[in-house]
Amino acid sequence: MTTRRTSRGTSRATSGRTSRRRAATRRTTTPGGGRTAYRRRSTPKVATTVGSALGLLVVTLLTSMSWPQRLGLVALVLVAGLAWVLWSHRAEIRAAADQAADAPASPSPPTPADAPASERDR
């Protein structure tokens, strides 16, 4: 019998034969009421590692900044996000503006100056 260290750091006795570990299976409910199973990857891929590294850099950067710098960075991100949204939907915005310009203007209610002379003298 051999002793094998588990992921929690504790030791566990195993038999002479080794068993293969299986990935944990999770079940999710689909909108139609059906259930589907998916497996989590056993090893993280490159995107996960790069994302973790970038997250660590962002947190380090934010904790070393002063509050005015943090607020300025948030404002910069918001302005850049708004600019990107407007730029990506510019064709839709232009089409709506052209449609509004081509539509006939709704008639305005008559003003007292537009009323006939007999009604103004009353």
Q: Looking at this protein, which amino acid is placed at residue 47?
A: A
**Of the ranges 24-33, 63-72, 95-104, the best mean pLDDT one:** 63-72
pLDDT, averaged across the chain? 78
The pair phi, psi for residue 14, each rounded to 5°, is -120, 160
pLDDT at residue number 117: 63
Is residue 110 scored above 90 in pLDDT? no
Cα–Cα distance, 31 to 48 (Å, whole number): 28
31 contacts 38 by C-beta, under 8 angstroms = no
Confidence of residue 15 (pLDDT cuts 50, 70, 90): low
The pair phi, psi for residue 106, each rounded to 5°, is -70, 140
Query: What does pTM read for this prediction?
Result: 0.43
pLDDT tens-digit readout, 32-70: 777 777 777 778 788 889 999 999 999 998 899 999 999
44 contacts 34 by C-beta, under 8 angstroms = no
